[in-house]
Structure formats: C-alpha cells, structure tokens
Structure 1
Amino acid sequence: MTDSINASRRRLLGATVASIGVMQLGFSGLVRAQSARATNAESSFGEIRQINAGTLDIGYAQAGPENGPPVILLHGWPYDIHAFAEVAPILASAGYRVIVPYLRGYGTTRFLSADTPRNGQQAVVAVDIIALMDALRIQKALIAGFDWGARTADIMAALWPERCKALVSVSGYLIGSQEANRAPLPPKAEFAWWYQFYFSTERGRAGYEANRREFSKLIWQTASPQWHFDDATFERSAQAFDNPDHVAVVIHNYRWRLGLVEGEPQYDALEKRLAAAPPITVPTITMEGDANGAPHPNPSAYAKKFTGKYRHVDVGGGIGHNLPQEAPKAFADAVMAVDRM
C-alpha cells in the first residue's frame, strides 16, 4: 500500500530540534572519541567515536540511551552522517540507540592497513557494517539508509536477515550486479548516469580529486533540485570528503559497477548471491521523494522483491534524493513505523 505524506517537512522542528538535541542526544563514552578537532560542522553530533571493526577504524556518531533498541543509519554519496542530523534526535527522544557511521572513505573512518585495497564494491560496504555491529556487540538492529546506504541496508537484509530487525530503504531495492549493469539503458537514463562514465576515465578520477567539493555540490543540486541548502550545510558534510581514501573508494565503486575493475576475491561468493537478486524477507518500508533528481527505479518495479511485511511511502513537498535530510520527520516516522510492523 502507498502512503502519501505532504511534507512541509523540510522546515521541520527548527528550534525544537535544537533543544531536543541538547537535552536528548545523551552521548556516552565508548571506545574512544575524536579530540576537540570536532568543528562546528560536527557539533550536531558532539564527539565522533572511533572503533576498530573488520578492516576499518570506523568513525560514528551515537545518540540516545545505550540500552535502547539499536538503529543504524547509513548515508550515501556524496553525503555524510549529517544527512541524519535531524533524524537522530527524533529517534533518540523516542528511546532508540542511534548509530550513524561514516562509510569507508568518508569522515574519520580509516583503513587499518595501508595494504588493504581501497575497494568500493557493494558487498564490502555491507560487510563493514556487519563488522561494526560485531564490534559494538549489537546482534540485531533496525537498518535504514539512502543512496549507497540504502543499497548497503538492502544487502544486509538480504544476506544477513538475522542481523536486521527491519529495514527502511529510500528508492527501494538497489541490489545490483556487474552482469546486470552491462545491459545498456535508454539514452535519457544513460544521461542521468553521466558521472559514472566520467569516473571510468583517468580524467574523471583526476577531476574528482581536484574538484570534489564543486562536484559534490553539483550532485546535491541536481539530485535535489528543490532543496535550497545553504553553504554552511554543504560544508558541514563536505569535510567528510577530505578523507584520504575518499576518491579511491568512490572511483572503485563506480568502476566496479560497470565491470571495469575487479572486486576482492573473498567477496566473490557474496556477489554471486547478490547477482541473483535475492528477496528481502524482513519488515520493510521503502520511500521516495516526489522531486528525486537522481536515477532511481519506479516503486512498482521492486515491490515484489520485499516478501515480508511491506509498505511504500511517497513523500511530497519537493523532496529530493537526500530524503532523510530534506524530510527528517518523515524518515524518522518510517523507522518507528517499521519497528512496529
């Protein structure tokens, strides 16, 4: 079934969110925290924590009570944890333990070894988050995300349903395969993926390296044409792209999708399972904004991939690709609703 939400959501909460954030976020000490190098851009999450998990030293924000039901929120490209800056206090005030990690190649997340490939294939990002759950001793969590984060959440729900209590996925079922990506698309659809082809060239890699802020701002503008974010909001997230591995991971991700580079052999079995487009059985809410300017499938194309309890939510009011940041209450409501399904 489809719910229509009229979102005057982007003007959401204002000073109320600020006060909730101060009163409710309730950060508690954990493994280790970043020093006061935290800037105003990071202040909405307070200290950024760090923990060794798998091949990474993962940076993440946490909000809410330590013993609350865990929710993991996953960002995409070219965004960062601040896509959930207003979602997190809403969920924290409802009693959830909210964990928002920087994906590999973003923010304070670092590779533990200089010898580890700067791999961006789809399976490895999901493996990272499973490793994070293990490190935090979280057996099962609500998983929610958009863009790369939605794909990662979908993969976790498909391959490790025992670790995923429920799922919120913006733009639905995003699991792909190199084989499927070999099929050409109609010209208009190919045009929407212009940056993927740009990244396939050395010129594109060098261009992104040299102009990552300008490039990312252009993606924000085209993917969310009705979202009038200010420079401070963009810069708060753009700092995450200064990560020394960011360009390598992003370029590998898009080249891997087109079969131009290999993944790591240890993930071949996972990719083979994903290439079969496995169904997702956990309770799921998929979401879509009415002004999403990024490539995305029609909800009717993926609804049958969700074989458990399922609902789709359309969010109106000019909401684009970065749905959690543009319509935070709608996204937080979906997380709480799927928990009750």
Structure 2
Amino acid sequence: MNYIDLANRIRRWGAELGFQQIGIAGTELAADETHLLNWLDAGRHGEMDYMQRHGTKRSRPQELQPGTIRVISARMDYAPPGIAHGWDVIGDASLGYVSRYALGRDYHKLMRNRLQQLADHIAAETGPFGYRAFVDSAPVLERALARDAGLGWIGKHTCLINRHAGSWFFLGELYTDLPLPPDEAASAHCGTCTRCIDICPTQAIVAPYQVDARRCISYLTIELHGSIPLEFRTAIGNRIYGCDDCQLICPWNKFAQPTGEADFAPRHRLDGAALIGLFAWSEDEFLRRTEGSAIRRIGHERWLRNIAVALGNAHGLSGVVAALRSREQHPSELVREHVRWALEQHAADTASA
C-alpha cells in the first residue's frame, strides 16, 4: 500500500464529503497532557467532571482506541451566510444571542455520518482496517490533534484558528491503525494580540491559552446545571446559549468562509430572536423547536434560567417586567430564583429613576 497516495486520496474524499480540510496527526501529546492535568488540578473545569473521569485516555489516543497510531482530523465550516451580525445582536438588549455553532442542526450526527462515509471510502481501498470516529463523543484532545494535523493553531482563547479560515468550524476525528504520513503541525500566529483576552465579558481567559471554565459564559449557560453566580449575571448580557465574543473580535476571522451546509442555517430565526418571545416557549414548544438542535441538551428549565438573566439585563424595554412576572410561579425554584433576580434589577431601575 502506498500510504502517501492514500493520504492524498483521503483528502480528496474528505473534500467531496463537505469537509473544508483534512489533516493527519501522530499520537504524541505529552505537553498537552501536562497542560490538561494542570488545568484540572486548578479546578478550572468546574462541574465538568467528565474532563477527568477518563484519566489519560484523553491525551493518549492508543488507550482510548487500542491500535491507534494516526489520527485523521477534519474540519467543517459552520457560520451560516446572511445571518444577523453577532455584535448587532449583542448590542440589542431585546434580542437573545445564541452561539453561532448552535443556530441550526446539531453537528454531531452530521459530521459523524460524514466521517463514517470517509472510513467506508478508505476501507474500499485498503480492506478492513481499525478505526473509530469521534465528534465530541469521547475524551479526545481534538484541538491539539487538529493542530498537529496542520489544521490550525490553538489561539490565546483556546479555540483553533486557521490562518485561511478563521475559527468558525467544527472538528471531528478518525482514530486509525493505518501508518499514514503525518502532516506538519501548524505554527502559531497570535503574536502580541490580546483582543480575545480583553473582550471577554467575564474575564474567563485568565492568561494566554488558559480559560477558567467557571467564569466562561458558554460554561455558565450550557454546562452549569444550577444557579448562575451573581457576580457574572450582569456581564452575561443577552447571551442565552454560549458566547462568541472571543471569536467575533479575532482578526483572523476576516478570512472565515460561510458554510455551504443547509443544515447549519438558523432555525426559528435564532440568529436574532426576541427574548420575550423565547421566554414564552412552553416546555413542549421548546422540545419541538429544538428537536435536532444542540440547544435541546440544556432543557427547558435552564433555557428559562438563561433568558431570565438576559431579561434582567434588558433595561428600559417595555413588556420585559410582564414577561418575567409570567414565570414568577414557575414550578422550578431555579427558574423562580433567576426571575426574582431579574425583577429586582428592574425594581432598582424604577427606584433610581
């Protein structure tokens, strides 16, 4: 088997399947393992216990999938064309900001299906081979592997950046036992820029390349199950599912390309929907409207929790107090507590007027 030729064909098949780039990495991640362990020891993963549950499987691919000697890393653009600009939505307190990756269909199944098709192409050429596909579905250091595969460098905000495509893309992997020639790792090009660190609303990027998840709005609105700490509620603004500020400000995203995947197009105008309307969704309506979406994973209760905070920050807008009062007697104490806080913000406005 000519593995150089096979690697070139894998790249071609990947492009035909809708991936914007395919790269190949080895499995040596010792430096990244040290970084991960230090991060975990500092408690910066918050309630994300799964980050440490699997021991070294995350940083040692051969432990996760025995026989792995190479990782085929793939990236796929996700920013839909023609959507409301992120800063415009964030600047309008009546609207809810949803992280751009979650506007359309959940990417996990789509990318996993494409990776399986890529594996089928390879098997048709090589015969049966050892592999396993991952898309956020197991303990994988996907950004480190993508960096080593030449897909981009890990920026100071810890997202992967490609100098020709910015950072608005998903990653997926095929762990394999094929001795494919690895690509050259990408070099870093953040230089002296600190825009992502400076712009973070909650100062979650505590140092270059170090994010304290406990302060991150994406963690607070998606991963955190309980009450959002008081100290961060005002800074959250109208971000109701995730946060993209560090990507919106990144100068490399001037090179980002809109996705050609129709499944990533916004559903229910979530690229800039009115908070009051979203807050009125019943649980059945929430489940129906988020079917097939990454948003569904937080459930209706946390959806209302997040929007209550955003409504508490929507000062001077008509209809907000009435919307909040409609949920004052919600069965969930989590929702009621955040509604009370939001109403207190508006009561303070009235008192100071």
- Band of TM-score, shorter chain: under 0.3
Select the structure that is richer in strand: 1
- Which structure has the larger Rg over C-alpha atoms? 2
| TM-score of the pair, normalised by structure 2 | 0.24
